Amino acid sequence: MPANQAPDIVSAGQRVRSRVLVALALSSVMPILALAYVVLGIVVPALEPGETLQFGALQILVVFAVLGLLAGGYVIWDLGRTVGRMAQMLGNEQTLGDLDRRQDEVGTIVQYFNKMLTTVEQQAQEINSFATRLDAAYKELESTNARLKETSFKDEVTGLYNRRFFSLRLEEELSRFRRFNHPASVVLLDLDGFKAVNDELGHAVGDDTLRDVAQILMKHSRGINVVSRYGGDEFAVLLVETSKAGARLYADRIREVLAKYPFSHGKTLTASFGVASLPDDEATTAEELFRSADEALYAAKRAGKNQVAAAGSPEKVT
């Protein structure tokens, strides 16, 4: 049955019920009224004056009237109940139809939200996966940048820091000295006779020699010190928290190790050293401090090589 016809049918059932109740009421009351009319209008006037109606006859009449009224009322009540049930059944059909329809609508909405939740979960998983890949790519990029930065500050032949990094750290250490007055020293060394090794044995052997020197410097230096290849066969070492006396001892130790080191080419190789320090030497900039160490280095070269010279006191230390 179409849902839009159910209200009309229920309304029609209710109208039928009302009309049947009225008709039955009239059909039950009419005989009683007719009987009363006959008794009062015909029988009573026909009696002779002075005569009275027997009590039994009146009782019978009253009993039959009451029985007829009760019977009519029962019939009316039963028929009205039947019609009411029919109307209720029609109404229940509508309610059940509406309930089924609403259940279908709710089911559709639930299915829609389930699909939405499934889509959201899938998108969340995709976002998490993307975030994981992005995080991995970011870490790889950071690692790559660190390697590139490290490479840009490293010497290709020896693996030591290059001139650029040494200059930056020297500037930082000079600023630190100005703030806290902590000592710092620069040691420059230049290999004696390295050109002859390159010319006689080739640049490959020369590079091996430079790498051996780099290993010696790293082995005998503290981790906080900056060991660099400044250029060619010249090396620069920044000694943090080291006075001029300590820098001279360091340079002399390296000088002795180099002079005794068994290089693969079999030749003896020495080095000359120049030392400059703060606050011992007057230097207001990193360039001035480096220049003081460089001048001391050339003083050691002029004095006969394989020597350590300090800025302001060019005497050699053996």
Task: Tell me how many domains the chain contains.
Answer: 2
- Structural tokens at position 166: 């040494």
246 assigned to some structural domain = yes
292 assigned to some structural domain = yes
- Estimate to the nearest angstrom the gap between the alpha carbon of 92 and the chain centroid: 55
Q: Residue 89 and residue 7: Cα distance in Å, rounded? A: 12
How buried is residue 306: exposed, middle or buried, by Cβ count under 10 Å (0-12/13-18/19+)? buried
Q: What is the pLDDT of residue 55?
A: 47
Q: What is the pLDDT along the chain (318 residues), one digit of tens a residue?
A: 454 554 554 455 555 555 555 555 555 555 555 655 555 565 555 555 544 445 455 556 555 666 666 666 665 566 666 656 665 655 555 555 555 666 666 677 777 667 777 887 777 787 877 678 767 776 766 666 665 565 689 999 999 999 999 999 999 999 999 999 999 999 999 999 899 999 999 999 999 999 999 999 999 999 899 999 999 999 999 999 999 999 999 999 999 999 999 998 889 999 999 999 999 998 899 999 999 999 999 999 999 999 999 998 755 444
Of 223, 234, 250, whose CA–CA distance to 301 is shortest? Answer: 234
133 assigned to some structural domain = no
Torsion sign, CA atoms 96, 98, 103, 107 = positive
CA distance readout (Å), 44 to 29, 53, 314: 21, 8, 169
143 assigned to some structural domain = no
195 and 268 share one domain = yes
197 and 309 share one domain = yes
168 and 29 share one domain = no
299 and 238 share one domain = yes
Q: Which of 88, 118, 148 is the last residue of a domain?
A: 118
Q: Which of 89, 118, 147 is the last residue of a domain?
A: 118
Rounded to 5°, angle at Cα 135 from 133 and 136? 65
40 and 178 share one domain = no
231 assigned to some structural domain = yes
Q: Residue 48 and residue 52: Cα distance in Å, rounded? A: 8
Q: What is the pLDDT of residue 316?
A: 45
H/E segment holding residue 276: strand 270-278
28 and 169 share one domain = no
175 and 299 share one domain = yes
291 and 196 share one domain = yes
For residue range 200-222, what is the model confidence (pLDDT) as tens digits? 999 999 999 999 999 999 999 99
202 and 94 share one domain = no
100 and 189 share one domain = no
Q: What is the pLDDT of residue 125?
A: 81
171 and 238 share one domain = yes
Query: Which region holds residue 134: left if phi is over 0, alpha if psi is between -120 and 50, else beta?
Result: alpha
294 assigned to some structural domain = yes
62 assigned to some structural domain = yes
pTM for the whole structure: 0.56
Q: Which of 84, 118, 152 is the last residue of a domain?
A: 118
The residues, ordered by sequence, that sit 6+ positions from 68 with a Cβ below 8 Å of its Cβ are 28, 31, 32
135 assigned to some structural domain = no
Per-residue exposure over 260-292, b if at least 16 CB sit within 10 Å of its own CB, e if not? eeeeeeeeebbbbbbbbbbebbebeebeebbeb
188 and 302 share one domain = yes
Of 198, 122, 174, whose CA–CA distance to 281 is shortest? Answer: 174
Q: What is the pLDDT of residue 32?
A: 59
- Residue 289 belongs to domain spanning: 163-317
CATH code, domain with 304:
3.30.70.270
